Every structure is written in C-alpha cells, then in structure tokens.
Chains A and B, each alone.
Chain A
Amino acid sequence: MVTAAMAQRAGASVASVARPVPSDPAAARAWVVAATVTDPEIPVLTIEDLGVLRSVEIGDDGAVRVQLTPTYSGCPALDAMRDDVLLALTHAGYDDVRVDLVLAPAWTTDWMSDAGKEKLRTYGIQAPSGNAAARPAGPVRVQLAVKCPRCDSLNTRELARFGSTSCKALYECRDCLEPFDYFKVL
C-alpha cells in the first residue's frame, strides 16, 4: 500500500529541488554569498552542501529574502545558520535582508551534494549511505553496511542509533577499532 507519507517522501526526493540556485543573475550573486555559510557543528559543510539553503530572491526594491529549511525540527544549529546568513549578506553590502524558515518540502539527506558527502567523509563522518525516498516504512531489517571513514572497512557496527546530534548515529570500526559518526538517512 502506498501511504501518504511514502508519496510525500517520493515527492520530496525530486532531484530538481535539491540545489535550487536562482536563474536571475542578481539573486544568484546573493546566493553565492549565502552559500558560504557553514554548519556550526560540521564546519566543513556549507548550507548549500547540506541542502539547507532553499531559495534566494531579490525584490524590486533590492530586499533580499532567503529561505532555509531545518535538517531536524529541534536542531539548535539552525538559529546560528540563520544569523550567519544575515551577517554574510549584510557584510556583502545588502542592507535589507530577511531570512525565513520553511518546513515544506521537508529536508532530506538526498539533497546533500556529492561534494558535501566527500567533505563529510574526509572530516571523519560517514555520509548517508542510502536514499531516503527508497527507505521503507517500518523497521529496516537488513541495511547497507556503513563504511569506516578512516580505513574504508565495511566491518563496522552500530553502537547507538542516536549519536552526538540528532542527525548522527555512533558506529565503531571492527578493523581499525575507531569509533565514528554516521550521518543518518532522513
């Protein structure tokens, strides 16, 4: 049975909404400024890498309007990102800036860029290994092995489904014996 939630997930996974860089050149310039802002907890990732930056528009009066979407509902990093976007654009000379938060469509790890995933791995956090839209409802009995970001071993095990932040799970590598974070599929 296709539930509403599954349909919603499938809808949210459309690749065309993953990196909605504006086509208008003036808005695209503001986008590039906003896109320099990084996640305060994972400083190698920009909000563009994460897919958190949803839109940048410039009105006829020059006002910049930015939309961000939270990764997790309670994520405290979002407030910092919001302030940083405001600062980055103000420093770049835009005086009328407004940053709004949007919930729909709901953020998914499928929006994370390939470059972002690679930066994440280099930083020591394994990127989501799976597609959120394809994740079945209910318990996942067999899932893809999570690769150790240090030694690339697939011989790893989950220590805790909930890691240092909502978005991460804690794993341990059985070959190099190091613990590591895994960015969960959402």
Chain B
Amino acid sequence: MLRSSEAGGVVYSRLIAKEGDESTYELFIGPQHPASGHMRFIVRLEGDIIVSVDPDIGYVHRTMEKLAEGREVIKSIPLLERMTIIDSHNVTLGLVRALEKLLDVEPPPRARYLRTLLSEINRIASHLYGMGIAGIMLNHSTMFMWAFGDREVWIQLAEDLSGSRLTHTYSVPGGVRRDLPQGFADKAEKAIRYMEKRLRDYMAIFLDNPQVRARYEGVGVLRKSEASRLGIVGPNLRASGIRYDARLAEDYAAYSELEFEVPVREEGDALARMLVRVEEIKQSMSIIRQVLRKIPDGPFFSEKYLRLLPPPLREQVAKTGRVKFPGVFASLKLPEGDAVSRVEMGHGEIFYHVTGNGSTKPYRLRVVTPSFRNVILFRYLMPGHRFMDFPAIYGSLDYFPPEADR
C-alpha cells in the first residue's frame, strides 16, 4: 500500500493510489478546529493511516496583493505586515527593499543595523510562537505557555525599539522610523541572558523529553531531494540538510557585516526542524549582540527625504530620534519598472515583486510567502503516517495560515 519512489528524481512521496476509494475515511479538519488554524484540511484515512491530505488554504480571505495595488505604496507597509503579524518586520522588509530599489534610495548604515536588530528580535519571537504552537499540538501546554510567555520579552524589546507591540511598521523606504532608544543595549542583554537560560529549560521539558522525542523522531521525514524539488524554504529546508538562507544569498540590512552561522541538520524529521529553530534563536541572539556592539553613528533616515523637511523639523528629527515624515513622502511616485527582493523571515524566504508605472500606487505587487511555499509539505509529508502524527508534523512545520492566503 505504501509507496515510496525516488526513481528518476520523481517523488511520488508516500502518496497512495487509493485516494477516492470507498474504504478511505474522509475527515474535514477545520476551518473551525482546535488545531487547523484558519484553514481546512481534507484528510483521508485508511484505518489510522493517513492516505492523503489536501490543504485548503483559502479561509482567511484578505487578498493582500490586490489591496496593496489600490493604495499608495507607503500604505502597503502596514497592510502587508498583517500577513504575518507575528513576524511583522521581516515580512515588510522585503517590500521596503523592493521599493528602495525602485525609488533609488539607499538607507544609511545605522538604519541597516537597526533593521537587522528588529528583524532578529522578530525572528526569535516568531520561532517562539512556532515552538509554542508545536507544543500545544502535542498537548504539551507547558511548552505553549512558556514559549508565549517568553515571547513577551522580545515583543517588549520590539516595542521599546519601534513603539508598537506587534505591527511595528519600522522600516520605510530610506531608513527606519525611529532611532535606537537609550538603554536599549542593557535591556537586550538582559533579555538574551534570560532567553539562554530558558532555552535550556525548553530542551529539558520539551525537546529532550522522551515522550516528545517519541512523537518527533523519524516523523515527517523530508528528504533533501524532496525538499529542493518542492521548493521548501526556511528552517524546514535547512533541517533537511540544505544550507540556504536569504540572509546569505541576498545582501540586505547589515547581514554581510555580521558573523553568524546558518544551522543545518541532516535528519529532516520533525525533531530536526524543531532543533534548527532552537539553534536559530541562539544565532539571532548572537547577531543582536553584534549589532549592538557594532552599530555605527549617523542618521537613521535617508538624506534624500530628510532634505524635504524644513530645517527646524530636521533638527527635531536628529534630536528626538523620530522621523516626522515630509508630506510628499506619503505619495511617493513609483517610477516605471520592476524590482524584486527577497528576505529571510522566521518561516523562510519571502519574495517581493513590485511593478511601478509612474503613479503613486504600485501597478502590480506580488508576494510569495514562505508558508505558501511550505504548504505543499502537508500533501507530501503526511501520507503514510498515523492520524495522530498530523498535528505533530503540522506543528513542526511552523506553518502560519494567514501568511499563505495572501
């Protein structure tokens, strides 16, 4: 019944020919289900074995791309960060990069470092969110509560930096909205030391717990060849042994000036995916330390736009560390042409393609989100596993439904 073939590079995976057979048992999981998220899965079972899973992603209905085409480009930043509200700086950084390429403006070095800082804070918060959800998918409520409680530490840091808890709207074309607040480095150092201690606790109660290991080890194995063929991104890809990270591939923010490792694992199972996330949290913390040590002085917003401000306001911006945007900034005209950019989010690589036609609104704004690229894993990883592995694999994928339905 179970077939697995790699012949000729074709992955039949563990898809089973019996789909549609009368002996299969069809379960519709979601959109209102404790573990489905805002989406639906059509799961077919034979006994307790999953025969096939059809993810039906269209239950969020927010049509981000189309909405973004109907408004001024600057307004699409707070709009698009709602796609992945848990990772809201990383998700818009790609858009900002694409807009900067179109508008031909470069952020000053300090702004690049500040972007890196908030990106890494967001990445940690996003991974903690993912680990918490993975915990509750195994009914491990302690992991859920711990991860969500400790996420608060990072959200607080992000709030200190950007002024808002979740939707930061921190990066704008030409720089960032606010400068580094005073005393931030101490707070960050405190948070990092706390998190290092907590990660050891997480390992003890969750990832080294024999019961959790039994649920995760060897479950939902994504082979290297499958991962590259299906176009998987993010920690899911790196857990399968492929060292790819948009932070390395695309030079954005300050990543080329910082030292960090991209954690890679060979196993490709659910446990490896979780461990890669833990390692990434550690790497992110080391990046934050480096950023706070190396951050250069200077303006945090591009001179090109600051010049549009009257001199007294310009002084005020320099003094308070907050940008008062010039009026024309709200209706920037996008020149004709295309710009693409990619950025590494907590979930994986996000890709933006913006087309301008000389008006204030983008002619076309196209996003390829990591969850949209990873959603295919439901179809390929689940079949052949027990039904109870469904939430375990789902949790380990760190899949975020609103992000896929963009």
A and B interact? no
